[in-house]
Structure 1
Amino acid sequence: MTLATYNIWLSDHHADERYGAIAQLLSEHSPDVVVFQEVTPRALAAFLAQPWIRERYYRAAVTGNEFGDYGQLMLSRLPISRVTYTHLPTSIGRGLLQAELTVNGRALAICSVHLESGRRASRLRARQVDRVFSAVGAAEDVVLSGDFNMRDDEDARIPNSYVDAWPTLHPSEEGFTEDTSVNLMLLDSKKKNRRVRFDRVLIKGDGWTPALIRLLGTEPVSSTLPRVFPSDHFGLLCRVVRTAAQRSMHG
């Protein structure tokens, strides 16, 4: 199963060009599941207007609340049997979008998360992390992805039952998903250097393991817009598999 996660940036800055570039990237890879963060009504309309999305994907979306006019979107090739949204303690409208799919006869929880941003929000983010893992705790098989906004010193809050796909597959590579040395649009926006791995794919489950993970959107949207990238974040494309032994064990 392949999954993509993408914080698509709520800004209107060259939004049409950026959404078009993201849609093109995703259509080329055709993942089984896609989760988006910072989805505005404009972004939602743009993606749902894509014929390949309308024709191939089930969808669940939460956009707009008292904190801001943005939210999350999930697309799935597999039928979605159940959807829940958990509001997290927040000052800027953050939450957890969770859907239940059936993969090879076994329930799989697919979760999209967007946690509080900023170094000063680390204590609030810790409360959010605890709430997220409490909300998905009963599920045996989980793929939890999105924009965690966590620094490396916060990693200890992730339960040992979860595998972080990037360091598992690329232990010698940083995997920055915000990187001003590459993303000139991010540099123009932040006005300072930043290289952090905010976006992650975490996996829990009997026999589930990451087989591939790579960055998406590391090039400008076009040669005529060299300082415009698909988003201020890079996306992630991840393939997770179950071992043959585990598949046969569970039917």
Structure 2
Amino acid sequence: MVSISKFPFTLLPEIKPILVNLNPSMSWSCSRCTFLNPPSQKSSCQICLSDSPLAVSSDPSISVPKPKWPCKACTFTNPYHSISCEICGTRVSASGLATLETDDDDDDDLSSSVGNVFLPLRPCNKGKITTRAPIMVEDDVKESVRFRCTNAANKRKSREEPLGVEEAEVDAAMGYRGVKAAATKAIEISDSVEQEPGKTFSTSKSKVLKILTYNVWFADIEMHKRMKAIGNLIALHTPDVICFQEVTPEIYDIFQHSGWWKMYSCSISNVMELTRGYFCMQLSKLAVKSYSCKPFSNSIMGRELCIAEIEVEKDMTLVVATSHLESPCPGPPKWDQMYSKERVQQAKEAVELLERKRNVVFCGDMNWDDKLDGQFPPTDGWIDAWGKMKPEETGWTYDTKSNKMLSANRTLQKRLDRIVCKLQDFCVSDVKMIGKDAIPNLTYIKEKKVKSEVKKLTLPVLPSDHYGLLLEISPQ
């Protein structure tokens, strides 16, 4: 038996939280449905009626202990606002932060909910604001994020050719959060040559362009192994452009240390982006003239349209846009918070902005339900890639029956993810679904309540709860 007194640390006393009423003059984000509730005397969410979170009391006589998180590597107890351990530098896990932010794990039993398969939404209640106001972050958090980003950038400098990326002015008229431009010369390459980031290619070789869209699922279920599996799919299919949804800072960090990462330039360069709960991200092997993001005016979940303008060859550009449209989030008492109107309006807003371009691919997790939302907005000149190439197949990218990882959830089979195109210099040559196979020798335990009995199910793990879509387009 080893005496605990020999270890160089002291045990912290047990801290019991003090329940304090929420300040009625403050707005607050619901930890269940992510709705931003206005200041009110009510103590429950206006959408799903969930209880409001704890808030700091205005009474100075009441002291609420600041939460801390223990480092998994060295056990040092760090202040909540620190993203990395102050002793050894180990990054806090998303699950660690989620545990401190909310203690809602008991509400996993949502089998009667219409849309429970879209959960978890709880880890994503950061930055959910309707107008995307500037995010206020403490200086030490900024410095911590900036330090990690600088280190990562320095590591890649030795193996990447500089892209000459500069921050440009924000286009206030269009509502863009930021635009960055990259200037590179067109270089003709052979199909057999491995593509370097920031290069263009000549269409004289009739090279097929591959564009991948994938919702990577921010759930903390075997996250590292799932992201590695997605990396293996990238290495296998070698997409030229990648559009990810539900990327968290932790997932970003995993990708950044992956072998395939060095082949791409990334749309995420602003260190403040990494303080958000989750976001969309674009990567490209080809030269990118600009990246930009336009928040949707009606989103209560912080959703936006991300746009990459890619230089395919001199005087020929391809616009690739992605988004994660408003998610269904039903809750009591009516279970009807499906946000269909918001989703339809966001799709129309995106299409109206993109259709001015000559060559456009708009892809992502549209959360689209044909029965509820109707036909997807694109009209003349636009095509649905899956509908055109594989009209005989359902195209369900979210399928609780074929994706055994989700077999404990309520049955849902939908074509949530879409790729629509408006092309004048290209044509769609193929589209396929990827990520449908379970990761070998990997399972997880899922509790499911059947009547009054709670059963533990051993289920396989797939790369994500969604399947990815891989589009191929060829020069005409």
TM over 0.5: yes
Contact 1:203 1:209 in 2 (8 A): no
Counterpart in the other structure of 1:197: 415
Higher strand share: 1
Structure 2 residue runs of 5 or longer lacking an equivalent are 1-208, 329-336, 444-458
What letter matches 1:214 in structure 2?
K
What letter matches 2:469 in structure 1?
L
Say if 2:326 is the partner of 1:116: yes
**From 57, 61, 66, the counterpart of 2:264:** 57
Give matches, 1:141-156, under 5 Å.
Answer: 141-153=359-371, 154-156=374-376
What letter matches 1:85 in structure 2?
C
**From 199, 223, 229, the counterpart of 2:441:** 223
Give matches, 1:20-169, under 5 Å.
Answer: 20-54=228-262, 56-61=263-268, 63=273, 69-88=277-296, 89-105=298-314, 106-118=316-328, 120-153=338-371, 154-169=374-389
Q: Distance in 1 between matches of 2:376 and 2:402?
A: 28
Say if 2:219 is the partner of 1:11: yes
Q: Distance in 1 between matches of 2:360 and 2:407?
A: 34
Q: Distance in 1 between matches of 2:356 and 2:325?
A: 21
What letter matches 1:2 in structure 2?
K
Contact 2:351 2:377 in 1 (8 A): no
Q: Distance in 2 between matches of 1:187 and 1:71?
A: 27
Q: What are the Cα deviations for residues 68-126 of structure 1, in whole angstroms up to 9, with x where unaligned? A: 60001111010111111010121112111101111133011111111011272110111
How far the C-alpha of 1:201 sits from its partner, in A, is 1.3
Contact 2:426 2:473 in 1 (8 A): yes
List, as ranges, runs of 4+ consecutive aligned residues in structure 1 with deviation greater than 4 Å.
62-65
Contact 2:355 2:422 in 1 (8 A): no
Contact 2:442 2:461 in 1 (8 A): no
Counterpart in the other structure of 2:402: 182
How far the C-alpha of 1:197 sits from its partner, in A, is 0.5
Give SS of 2:250's match.
helix
How far the C-alpha of 1:224 sits from its partner, in A, is 3.4
Give SS of 2:220's match.
coil
Q: Distance in 2 between matches of 1:229 and 1:48?
A: 21
RMSD: 1.6
Q: Distance in 1 between matches of 2:464 and 2:346?
A: 24
What letter matches 2:244 in structure 1?
F
Q: Distance in 2 between matches of 1:214 and 1:137?
A: 24
CA separation of 1:156 and 1:114: change in aligned 2, threshold 3 A:
closer
Give SS of 2:350's match.
helix
How far the C-alpha of 1:223 sits from its partner, in A, is 2.9
Counterpart in the other structure of 1:170: 390
Counterpart in the other structure of 1:234: 467
Superposition TM-score, scaled by structure 2 size: 0.48
Q: What are the Cα deviations for residues 193-224 of structure 1, in whole angstroms up to 9, with x where unaligned? A: 11111111111121422111111110111233
Q: Distance in 1 between matches of 2:405 and 2:300?
A: 26
Q: Distance in 2 between matches of 1:205 and 1:72?
A: 23
Q: Distance in 1 between matches of 2:360 and 2:220?
A: 33
Counterpart in the other structure of 2:25: none
What letter matches 2:311 in structure 1?
T
Contact 1:86 1:135 in 2 (8 A): no
Between 1:34-43 and 1:112-121, the stretch displaced more is: 112-121
Aligned pairs, number: 238
Q: What are the Cα deviations for residues 123-157 of structure 1, in whole angstroms up to 9, with x where unaligned? A: 01111112111222321110111111111242242
Contact 2:245 2:280 in 1 (8 A): yes
Give SS of 1:134's match.
helix
Q: Distance in 2 between matches of 1:36 and 1:187?
A: 24
Contact 2:234 2:260 in 1 (8 A): no
Give SS of 1:241's match.
strand
Percent identity of paired positions between Structure 1 and Structure 2: 30
Higher helix share: 1
Give SS of 2:299's match.
coil
Give SS of 2:338's match.
helix
Give SS of 1:81's match.
strand
How far the C-alpha of 1:36 sits from its partner, in A, is 0.2
Higher relative contact order (CA 8 A, sep 6+): 1
Q: Distance in 2 between matches of 1:221 and 1:92?
A: 31
How far the C-alpha of 1:229 sits from its partner, in A, is 0.8
What letter matches 2:468 in structure 1?
G
How far the C-alpha of 1:64 sits from its partner, in A, is 5.7
Structure 1 residue runs of 5 or longer lacking an equivalent are 244-251
What letter matches 2:360 in structure 1?
V
